[in-house]
A and B are shown apart, each in its own frame.
Chain A
Amino acid sequence: MLRRLHGLPGIALALALAVTALTGAVLSVQPALDRAAAPAIPAAASVADLAAQVAARHPGVSAIRLRADGSLTAAFDDGDTRGVERIDPATGTGLGPYAVSETTRFFTNLHRSFLAGDAGRVAAAIGALAMLGVSVSGLMLLARRLGGAGALLRPIRGTPAQRWHGELGRLAAVSLIMSSLTGLWMWAGTFGLLPETTGANSAVAASGGAPAPVGTLTGLRALKLKDLRELTFPDPAGPADVFTLVTADGERLVDAATGATLAMTPATALERMNDLVRMLHTGRGAWVLGLLLGLASAAVPVLAATGFALWLRRRAARPRISANVPVRRADTVILVGSEGNSTWGFAGTLHTALVAAGHKVHTAAMNEVSAAHLVAPRVLVLAATYGEGAAPQSAKQFLSRLAGLPGQPAVAVLGFGDRSFPHFCRFARAVADALEARGCPQLLPMKRIDRRSAQEFAQWGRDLGGALGHDLVLTHVAEPPKTMPLVLAGRELYGEAVGAPVAILRFQAPADPRTGAPGRLPTFEAGDLVGIVPPGDYMPRFYSLASSTRDGVLEICVRLRADGLCSTFLHELAPGEGIDAFIRENPTFRPAKGRGPLILIGAGAGIGPLAGFVRANAAGRPVHLYWGGRSAASDFLYEHELAQHLAERRLTTLRTAFSRDADESAYVQDRIAADAPRLRELVKQGAQILVCGGRDMAEAVTRALEPVVRPLGLDLPTLKSSGRYVEDVY
């Protein structure tokens, strides 16, 4: 619901909002320019002195105004000449006619009415309302995503579009909320929806004496020029010989003969509010604020574009469940708890496979659970987890609804999440516990899928098929990847002697067949993933990239696995032969920006991206690499390259451990334990830890690192949630 509230007005009004925001950004510069251009007002100058100076030049002066843009102007009608003139506040001399520039007027009108009069003003107000709604709902969405309002300033992880949208959004939200609220207030004032502010003075009796020189009037002498808003001279044809003097605190009537202040009407609370709102909206009189508001407005088109991209992506991931039988006829019910639709994709694959196996299947959102769903013989729950273990969008009401319903179907719960987050699949766990507590028999123990792994999902499908007594093949392709051909340019083979062959493979884009020009590689960074589809298979396998586009090659380390379809294919590949591949960004597994130290930890083929990070470290930031292999003589991957990096200071220190070397057998976690004090000091300095390798190694490293950081009052979940401990584990 919240997401819909955020997305719908955002998309529907994106263009209008962009126009209003961009024109607002253009106008925001004006107060700063005005301030630079307007002459300073002497602190001691009185209204009376200036009025006398102006009146000496213009006998027909009717009003002097100190405008919100900082300029002092006088309106006059001397009979032969008349107009509005800018005035030097120090001397009262004229500085030429006052006119708002055509450009400013154009942008102002575009901003407040799309150049379309009152109808345009109404449209602009609708835009401001939408902006308010989008900003508030956006902040709420971001808070939910990051794990609560208190977590709103945490680093945002995800694709570039997600990060740009989130980072810019939270920077701009507060000022966009303020701009839209104040804009709506001003709109309401223009349309007479606010109470009238006619604080007009009641009729007063002027002395009626001969007017005294304006410079001598005590009521005007008492007031500083810098506090002036407007001084209206007595109308020669008018009935009362009084000056009207408006300041921020109210309106005074001053007798033109005696100089006495005849009446003072204080500004009402509403008038003061109007002044404040106008300043907060236009930045006039607060030019720094104006520029800040302008910057936030300038971010709106970027937010609109990235938001639109995110919406399109989410929409593309929306599944189309075909052959969804009514729930009462279903033998199997699939309930889906999804935040961003990706879990729906898995549900769609499961649905199709079960239908193909002869089941009658009904798929629904977890929120829709009713007694009818729980009457079905079996219920399969596919649940993602949101933020800090919270229920995702389509499962928010599941647990409370479930508590009020009868029924004990056989169940299997499948959780989707990201192992690098501290609350991996916590919601799915809660669902599994709730179902177990009500006595539902388990078809399968709860299983957790890490980062949408198609392999793990397929494995769960085989287990489920086993429980159901038939084959069940789940071939899930989240988004059919667009592959590009790559050609093997070189290979190095390590580790054969110790029974663990690892190949470093370097690919290039195929040369143009006609011109022979070298092909262009896609864009990627070390740590991103390359998906490779082995011939005769659908499911891509992912390998961490050891190089970036700048290196001119796409480099991966591949360990040969027994019965591994893809690794066998890659190991048998000869130079010149080709593969079909695509890039998947992995923005969470990347060195943080800045010059803080990096601790890289890996084992076996996991060195690939770590070597890539070292290679990219031309700036020479402190990088400490811990790596474990089997034998220094056989599988020391990148041995010569790393030696060169050490010499060139791209790599600060290198600690290796070899498990099969008889004299000094050790694992990488042993090196970490031995180096605890040094590592602790690095973490204290703000080091980021990046781990790449097999799951067993990663768990051993976790155990070795906990005692390293604990004396600092830290733990790994804390470091993980702030992006200072990141893993690429397989």
Chain B
Amino acid sequence: MKFVLPAVAATATLLSPVLAEARQVTFETTLKPYGGNGAYLVLYVTDAAGAYKGTLWMAGGKAKYYRHLSDWQRASGGRPTEIDGITGASVGSGKTLKITLDLADAMIDAGYKVHVDTAVEDGMDNPSEVVAPLAASASGKPLAGKGYVKSFTVTF
């Protein structure tokens, strides 16, 4: 299963309103074949100081499970407005989530990091199981997560 997203209006602080100053960035998350129900998975950005800047994508539609994405919950406050319009289905065992966004040039190589929190029913909660720098040098290099994420790749 692949979720290919055209440029969508996500959190305003992260996404460039003017395409000339933006770059298309693809986030590809492939899960391990852990063999459980669909994983909840959230992608969000912190700045160089570790402060929460905004959410890129929430996979999983039931708000009552968001507390299991504990780093995101703590950082963002778990407010529904944080994920308004950027929520999709949970990601099945062994499946891939691919999203493409237009990200402001200023975000890249400026110390920003993408975090991935995951959680599965009757399984583990994995806060920040992947933390990837938003750096041009890291483009296309897959990172392994410590939980359910087999590989996470950011491509500019």
Contact = CB atoms under 8 A, between A and B. Distances in A.
Interface in B95-138: 122-125, 127
A105 B34 CA distance: 13
Smallest CB-CB A-B distances: 7 pairs: A100-B122, A192-B63, A84-B124, A190-B62, A75-B124, A82-B146, A192-B62
Nearest to B127: A235
Interface in A70-129: 75, 77, 82-84, 99-100, 102, 105, 109, 117-118
Contacts of B17: none
Contacts of A191: 62
B13 interface: no
A105 B62 CA distance: 19
A189 interface: yes
B74 A238 contact: yes
Q: Is the interface of B mostly helix, strand, loop or mixed?
A: loop
Nearest to A190: B62
B18 to A, nearest CB: 36
A102 to B, nearest CB: 7
A77 B127 CA distance: 11
Contact of A117 (B36, B89, B123, B125): B89
A190 B74 contact: no
Contacts of A197: 64
Interface residues of B, number: 19
B123 A84 contact: yes
B81 to A, nearest CB: 15
Nearest to A191: B62
A83 B124 contact: yes
Contacts of A235: 70, 127
Nearest to B66: A198
Contacts of B70: 235
Interface residues of A, number: 23
Nearest to B147: A82
B89 to A, nearest CB: 7
Contacts of A109: 37
Nearest to A238: B74
B111 to A, nearest CB: 18
A235 B75 CA distance: 13
Given A190-B62, A190-B64, A100 B36 contact: yes
A191 B64 CA distance: 9
Nearest to A77: B146
A62 B126 CA distance: 10
Contacts of B124: 75, 82-84
Interface in B47-94: 61-64, 67, 70, 74, 78, 89
A79 to B, nearest CB: 9
Contact of B61 (A63, A99, A118, A238): A118
B146 A105 contact: no
A192 B61 CA distance: 10
Contacts of B63: 192, 196
Contacts of A196: 63-64
Interface string A195-237: 0111000000000000000000000000000000000000100
Contacts of A75: 124-125
Contacts of A189: 64
Given A82-B124, A100-B36, 7 more contacts: A82-B147, A83-B124, A84-B123, A99-B122, A100-B122, A105-B36, A189-B64
17 contacts: A62-B125, A63-B125, A75-B125, A82-B124, A82-B147, A83-B124, A99-B122, A105-B122, A109-B37, A117-B89, A189-B64, A192-B62, A192-B64, A196-B64, A197-B64, A198-B67, A238-B74
Given A83-B124, A191-B62, A192-B62, A102 B35 contact: yes
A109 B121 CA distance: 12
Contacts of A238: 74
A237 B136 CA distance: 27
Contacts of A192: 62-64
Contacts of A62: 125
Contacts of A190: 62, 64
B135 to A, nearest CB: 22
A653 B26 CA distance: 95
Interface string A641-655: 000000000000000
Interface in A174-206: 189-192, 196-198
Contacts of B67: 198
Contacts of A105: 36-37, 122
Contacts of B61: 118
A502 B35 CA distance: 77
A84 B121 CA distance: 12
Interface in A547-601: none
Contacts of A100: 36, 122
Nearest to B61: A118
Nearest to A79: B146
A238 B74 CA distance: 9
Nearest to B78: A198
Nearest to B36: A105
Nearest to A108: B37
A63 B127 CA distance: 13
A99 B124 CA distance: 10
A189 B63 CA distance: 10
A541 B134 CA distance: 93
A71 to B, nearest CB: 11
A189 B62 CA distance: 9
A88 to B, nearest CB: 20
Contacts of A82: 124, 146-147
B59 to A, nearest CB: 13
Interface string B17-44: 0000000000000000001110000000
B3 to A, nearest CB: 15
A99 B123 CA distance: 7
A83 B146 CA distance: 10
B118 to A, nearest CB: 13
Nearest to B34: A99
A101 to B, nearest CB: 10
Contacts of B125: 62-63, 75
Nearest to A98: B122
Contacts of B127: 235
